[in-house]
Amino acid sequence: MSLDAVPLLRMEGISKLFPGVRALDCVDLEVRAGEVVALVGENGAGKSTLMKILAGAHDKDEGRILLQGREVQIESPRRAQQLGISIIYQEFNLTRNQTVAANIFLAREPRLRGLAGWLGFVDRARMASEAARVLERIRAKIPPDTKVGELSVAQQQMVEIAKAISVEAKILIMDEPTAALGESETEVLFETVRALKLQGIAIIFITHRLEEMFRIADRVVVLRDGQRVGALPIAEATPERIVQMMVGRSLQEIFRKESVAIGMPVLEVRGLTRRGAVEDVSFTLHSGEILGFAGLVGAGRTETARLLFGADSRDRGEVILQGKPLSVSSPVEAVKAGLGLVPEDRGLQGLVLKLPVQENIVLATLPRHSAGGWMDRSAVARTAQDFVERLSIKTPHLRQKAMLLSGGNQQKVVLAKWLASKPKVLILDEPTRGIDVGAKAEVHALMSDLARSGIGIIMISSELPEIMAMSDRIVVMHEGRVAAILSRSEATPELVMAYASGQQRGVRNG
Ligand SMILES: Nc1ncnc2c1ncn2[C@@H]1O[C@H](COP(=O)(O)OP(=O)(O)OP(=O)(O)O)[C@@H](O)[C@H]1O
Ligand SMILES: [Mg+2]
């Protein structure tokens, strides 16, 4: 047998049982050097679990792992690293109060020379300059001495990527690396992936965005309910075929918007400003309307949402909710006034990880689920069960702790919480990030239902197809300002991108 015939990695018959959940059932996976394998499947299919086993973060119950034909035991993350396996986790794994450089070199910091180094003293200057070099490789403009807690979600993801490629890895696992990235950062990541591939590194890439898979992968492996249902070379794959394999039925990945009558203004925003972030933002949101917010990462969309929600304070500007001036100084007040926000960073802001699924779902609607000061258990269970079914949230039961759900299912729980709260204005920041194709359609259908009931919806999304399909009007932001407001009929992807990237200037109001 020639060396080429032996795959770099072979996982054979991998099984994993969690209490009440068979996460993996005899799964095989093969990856060759220089190959990019896309690992896809619905939320909860077992993708992250399989990769955590490979990275030494979970023990397997059954199966074998072979590297270049030789069986290995990967009993810890440290062992995985020694074997040349590097992983970018779906949940960020950074220490927020440490610097970027310290995070990149965590547990393998360069030491000072001589006695000081021998005593364990870190060479901070060298660490900073090496961190800068790695960041430069992925063109991330982040000072290495910044504290990670001060970075945006996209920047944190870039640090994760830098950390993963800074070790001499033979196998690089990326678990939804693009979920937090915008178009241009995704481009840079893809260039990095192509360069690593040329160096013979094997890459396992998890994504819910089918178009990414077609751009970057050589082969696709599909999991469903913990089983491997098939694998295809990319040349033989079509979106229809992949989706059919993933969900077990045919389903077109189309975003469908139902037409809803647009009513009176519910939210008027005039000259909203927070220095250095948002400058003079004005728009009107009507009842029944879905207003899409497009723009590159850092264009000020999330910041605008935070200002409206009272998470940050504004320097200037006016917000009018149903004809009355709104001045909220905290999210709690915002909720009382009738606003809802599904934040982009759901792990940190949206979910109480230690609470059960059902409590998380009713968290924003406790009064409605209480009687005489006590929580009405059966009402809670009814609401929770309804959303678990509508959004197909995969959980063994309603009392499962949120932290034990897969990444995408955690996102669905946060969505359910706000969809259940029926606010006057609902702000959704990247509502379908990390959500599988089947559930995306459900989320969109729920958005249409809410719009029909008269709620005004602000939808921030970095997925242009979603913006184009779901918005009645599109607010395009660029560098903290509104670059254009386009009507559904005049908006084209090219025009939106031209305004978002600053190529086209001059405010337009549609
Ligand atoms: N630590 C755990 N304890 C209990 N159940 C778990 C644990 N981790 C994962 N699971 C369950 O195992 C199944 C597979 O989860 P996994 O995270 O591998 O899915 P995934 O394919 O990565 O999904 P997603 O696309 O949502 O990230 C899910 O049903 C999940 O709830
Ligand atoms: Mg996952």
Q: Given ligand 1 and candidates 406, 411, 412, which is best to mutate, with the most ligand atoms within 8 Å of its CB?
A: 406
CA atoms of 395 and 404, how far apart (whole Å): 9
- Ligand nearest to the backbone CA of 405: 1
- For the CA of 223, the closest atom of ligand 1 is 21
Which stretches of the chain drop beneath a pLDDT of 70? 1-4, 249-255, 346-349, 506-510
The rounded Å distance from CA 405 to ligand 1 centre is: 5
Distance 138 CA to ligand 1 centre (A): 30
What is the CATH class of 3-84+168-247?
alpha beta
Q: Which atom of ligand 1 is nearest to the CA of 24?
A: 14
Q: Which pLDDT score, from 0 to 100, does residue 1 have?
A: 45
For the chain, give every domain's residue range. Answer: 3-84+168-247, 254-338+423-510, 350-422
Instruction: State which CATH number among 3.40.50.620, 3.40.50.300, 3.40.50.1100, 3.30.2010.10 fits the domain covering 254-338+423-510.
Output: 3.40.50.300
Specify the ligand 1 atom closest to the Cα of 90. 27
Q: Which residues of 351-364 are buried (b: 16+ CB within 10 A; e: fewer)?
A: beeebbbbbbbbbb
Query: Pseudo-torsion of CA 259, 426, 424, 468, nearest 10°?
Result: -20
Pocket-forming residues, ligand 1, beta carbon under 6 Å:
18, 21, 23, 41, 43-49, 90, 394, 404-409
CA-closest residue to ligand 1 atom 22: 48
pLDDT at 49: 97
Within 10 Å of residue 200's Cβ, how many Cβ atoms? Answer: 12
CA distances from 43 to 22, 247, 344, 346, 453 (A): 14, 10, 18, 16, 29
> Is-contact 174 216, C-beta < 8 A?
no
User: pLDDT value at position 391?
Assistant: 84
150 phi and psi, to 5 degrees? -90, -5
pLDDT score at 509 = 64
Going by alpha carbons, the residue nearest to atom 6 of ligand 1 is: 404
Helix (H) or strand (E) holding 414: helix 407-421
- 226 three-class SS: coil
Instruction: Locate the DSSP E strands across 323-460.
Output: 324-325, 339-342, 370-371, 374-375, 425-429, 456-460
**Closest ligand 1 atom to 42 CA:** 25
> Residue whose CA is closest, atom 2 of ligand 1?
404
Type of residue at 418: W
Residue located nearest, by CA, to atom 24 of ligand 1: 43
What is the atom index within ligand 1 of the atom nearest the CA of 16?
Answer: 12
What pLDDT does residue 186 have?
A: 85
Across 348-447, where does the E strand assignment appear? 370-371, 374-375, 425-429
Q: Using DSSP bridges, classify how beta strands 290-294 and 473-478 pair: parallel, antiparallel or unpaired.
A: parallel
Do domains 3-84+168-247 and 254-338+423-510 share one topology? The answer is: yes
**Contact between 169 and 177 (Cβ < 8 Å):** no
Spell out the long-range contacts of 400-404 with Cβ–Cβ below 8 A and sequence spacing 24 or more. 400/20, 400/356, 400/357, 401/353, 401/354, 401/355, 401/356, 401/357, 402/351, 402/352, 402/353, 402/354, 402/355, 402/356, 402/357, 402/360, 403/353, 403/354, 404/18
Alpha-carbon Rg of the chain, whole angstroms?
Answer: 24
48, 345, 353, 363, 462 from 350: Cα distances, Å: 21, 7, 9, 10, 19
Taking the C-alpha atoms of residue 265 and residue 250, their distance in angstroms, rounded to an integer, is 39
pLDDT reported for residue 170 = 93
Give me 491's structure tokens.
Answer: 């908006």
Pinpoint the alpha helices (H) of 177-294: 183-198, 210-216, 239-247
Pocket perturbation via mutation, ligand 1, pick of 11, 18, 173, 392 by most ligand atoms within 8 A of CB: 18
